[in-house]
Structure 1
Amino acid sequence: MKKDPFSELHFGDAEIPQISIHSPIAIFYKQKIRDNILYTKVQDGDITAFENEEYQALHKNQNFELMYVLQGELTNYIEDKEYVLRAGEGCLLNTQILHREILSEGCNVVFLNLSPTLLQELLANDSSNGPIFTFLEKNLQTDSQWKRSYIEFTPCLPYQSESFHVIIDSLQLEVATSKIGRAYFQRGLILRLLDALENVNQFSLQQIDLDLSKEQYLVNRLIHLIESRFGHISRKEIEVALHYNAEYLNRLLKRQTQMTIAHYAQMIRTQKAQQLLNTTDLTIQLIAEHLGFSTEAYFYHFFKKQTGISPNQYRKKFKL
């Protein structure tokens, strides 16, 4: 087994690899370059980088891990499940999740490792009632050590959040420095990062419990997939991504939500169009392109059919 080049490797129950970082905060970057990975570690005022083979073993982390895809895409393996994460998407894993990831060519991904002790300190002094902070608080409780859950997040609009990238870059600079006061800046930026994930104008969140029934798990995965593609996804693409027959998935979704895949996708596409009209100054043509409509005229027809008014009328009436 190839060892993670930056971490100490232990073996827990059933010889499961467990990766530990002896620091409250560590940031790792992985970038696929031809057949190797460029690894970069930012920790304790130091930056280390080198090329190596990709570490592909299923493992657990002794810290909470936030993964965010900066560029390209990767295949994320959560125990016996797999799915693709694209630029702007990511997940927050608790310490009980067995996982690994395989990067595609050109993929660049950042991992933020946060110790339970650090998170307990932060949440004791400053937190919100939102889903990210609630997830962390519940998973930090001693009676929750057996729970296998994580949060997936996707950009709620069809482009990446510049402000989120600024926070990541600022945190990386503070973790890399040895200047006085760095610990205070680091902790403040972590809180800002977690708070940004809860901003409904930046990210859509979904908590996944691996101990759910097969049906509920598949419905959650299907909903996440449709929402992450902003409703612009075919049944064939769904089958390829989830490895199940689309008609079977359609029956499951209808049983849970009373909506078919087509109707649910239309609802999401309409919601995203409304959000772009409400919160941005993008032209109607650009909105149509972002949401995958072949022409501006088709977007007008779709939007008016769904809402009863044209995109321009909607923007004039509801623009924030």
Structure 2
Amino acid sequence: MKIKYILALAGFCFIQLKVNAQQTTNYSQYGSVVTPINTAGSFLTKEAQINVIGRYQWVDLEGAPTAYRLAASMPLGKSDMRIGLNVKHENVGVEKLGEALAFVGKEVRLADKDYLALSVGAGVSYYNGNFSQLSSTDPMFNNDLRETEGMLSASLMYYRPDKFYAGISLPRLTFSKIGIGSTSLNYDVSTLYHFTAGAIFPLGADFDLKPATLISYAKNVDLQGDLSALIYLKKAFGLGANVRTEGEMAALASLFIKNLNIGLGYQFATSNSALSRTFNNNTYEFSLTYRFGKGFGGLL
């Protein structure tokens, strides 16, 4: 029991460092699942679509971080507008945090094959810290936290269907940041900014190259950059890799089966840090995308 308490205390200290850094978890399959990061990316398909992503870190440790995302969108009739939902939930030890946001978007044709999409949304973020579960005697863990905060989002995407896309997004702007919400929050999630881009390059009759990048910024947090690339065979099966500026890499796989796209990721740290020597810091990730109607006509 004493060892478990020490591990919990160490995990608690590490968790607090991550929370204070105000940077939530990004996922390595952003090149295949765009909407959770940029809701205007939902216009990359004309059909209704559902995305599910799960991440599991430190799988051998009790209370290890887990994260889940759900994104869904659909067109409004035959108009050039879409509506959708973005939901995120993370568990880190005794802490739970997440967001739920509804959005609406509109696309504008700029040229014969080029489009611009704009999306705006509103929702709520929440944070629960059940610190009293760690110890009933240590005063450090006496106070639990329960906090919610309203939030807004905005996203912009320039794209050519089945060719390329580039977009910027502000996925989280809390009410307190614009002066209409509570300013006494102990858990103050900073405003995030994302830039993401991707493209498809044919490599002969049977192969395609799909590179993508994601750059994330939040106040008082180091700029985080990701670069990934997958090579697809007959637009059905892809293998690739992801590299992150924080010293992490990931192996990626993608499989298309009619209306379903299955994605897998295995992320690992390349640096020999004290944390990676103590715990298994590898992360397992899966994604499922179901596209209604005619299904996947391309790789975007």
TM-score between the two structures when normalised by the length of structure 1: 0.21
Structure with the bigger percentage of strand: 2
- Which has the higher relative contact order, 1 or 2, with Cα contacts under 8 A spaced 6 or more apart? 2
TM-score between the two structures when normalised by the length of structure 2: 0.22
Structure with the bigger percentage of helix: 1
